[in-house]
Chains A and B, each alone.
Chain A
Amino acid sequence: MQIDLRTVSIKPIRQTFDNVARHLGGDKPASRYLEGTIGIQSEDNFHYRPLWDPEHEIFDPSRTAITMQDWYQLKDPRQFYYGTYTIARARMQENAEGDFSFVDERGLAADYPAAAKKLALEVILPLRHVEWGGNMNNSFIAGYGYGAAICSPCMYHAMDHLGIAQYITRLGLLLDDAPALDVAKQAWLAAPMWQGLRRYVEDSFVVEDWFELFVAHNLVLDGLLYPLIYQHFDKALTALGSPVVSMLTRFQSEWFTETSKWVDASIKVASNENADNKARLSAWTKAYRDKAIAALKPIAAHALGTNADTIMTTVIDQFNARAAKAGLAL
């Protein structure tokens, strides 16, 4: 008996789903990210307008002043869908957990100089409440925004903020004990140094335009706060004693680098879409930047002492350069 072996090449009839192919402009192989994102936004057959907001459909692009021909242009350069997002965060979390247990096992927190510990607790711990604000704001964007391509990463962003709030809490518990959290909450509610930032965060809760909120929190506040605290203040703390706080805030600094790419890409696409968007985004950025700088100044002064002004200038210059790169005219 003779057996002939031959190779049969089977061409797939189609490379991807029709709606994705329409978006790509042809039947090309598409990534999981695209297949899981394009066409997710509900667009039709809403029947009734919500009683709580009869001006708008339940999903309505006019809830923001920003306009887009195609909302799927606001893609996430990290290509996060549920799977890739959870894998990426699990990896970061594993590192962070490793650092926490390292600090714990070696008793590094106990050896940390008292002055540095006090300063770290005073400056970092109240930021839990800012992170909670970030969770609120990004949940709002995910809820009221339009175009699944930007709403779903905002939901991830919201969860990330909640996770960061938890890491800050754990930092507090590791360096000190549970009462430190109450002290930090009292500082957030009453200490003059925090009231500017608290006002900024609480004011953002009543912003109705979700894209404005995206600018106010994700671009401006995070864009100034993270470099200030997790780069410059962190460096100052390391100089005071040991890099314990750097280890315990590793998640935040990695997270900021990663998410900035997404925030910048979203702003860039929206501002390149048309002149109105560009003018509006630039005006929002400018207004919120000035408010955020005023809110952060007393915190910088407390955290960094005499170096505060030079460091704030560096942070602001970096932010301006970043905004300019994203196509904003400040």
Chain B
Amino acid sequence: MSNVFIAFQTNEESRYIVEAILQDNPGAVVSEQPAMVKIDVPDCLTIKRTTVEEKMGRDFDLQELQVHLITISGHLDETDEEFTLSWKQ
């Protein structure tokens, strides 16, 4: 099983996204690097809009995360509700 990963710039906004990822993806491993935070998850990573909104306390459009995004690996499936990375075809 390979990992998928996502990396964000470390800032006030991305912190909530990271918290949401950690809550929704039990296998997630965070590595904090200078000015960057990278999250590895085996097989599949999901970011849910509702969880991010709960953490941030405001409405959130999943496309807003692109502003903080550095890189991803995995096949991407994007809907209004979820942003999913996986190796499933």
Contacts and interface: CB of A to CB of B under 8 A. Distances in A.
Contacts of B15: 29, 31
Contacts, number: 18
Interface in A29-86: 29, 31-32, 76-79
By size class, the interface of chain B is under 10
B34 A261 contact: no
Contacts of B16: 31
Given A78-B58, A79-B57, A9 B33 contact: yes
Nearest to B58: A78
Q: Is the interface of B mostly helix, strand, loop or mixed?
A: helix
A62 B31 CA distance: 45
Nearest to A261: B57
**Which of B33, B54, B56, B57 has the most chain A CB within a 10 Å cutoff?**
B57
B9 to A, nearest CB: 14
Given A29-B15, A31-B15, A32-B12, A77 B34 contact: no
A40 to B, nearest CB: 18
A10 interface: yes
A76 B57 contact: yes
Contacts of B33: 9
Nearest to A257: B59
Interface in A9-39: 9-10, 29, 31-32
Nearest to B16: A31
Interface string B12-45: 1001100000000000000001100000000000
Nearest to A10: B34
Contacts of A78: 57-58
A261 B58 CA distance: 10
A31 B14 CA distance: 11
B58 A31 contact: no
B57 A9 contact: no
B41 to A, nearest CB: 20
B60 to A, nearest CB: 13
Nearest to A79: B57
Interface in B31-89: 33-34, 54, 56-58
Contacts of B58: 78, 88
Contacts of A9: 33-34
- What are the 7 closest A-B residue pairs judged by CB atoms, nearest first? A78-B57, A77-B57, A79-B57, A9-B34, A32-B12, A29-B15, A78-B58
Given A7-B34, A31-B16, A32-B12, 15 more contacts: A9-B33, A9-B34, A10-B34, A29-B15, A31-B12, A31-B15, A76-B57, A77-B54, A77-B57, A78-B57, A78-B58, A79-B56, A79-B57, A88-B58, A261-B57
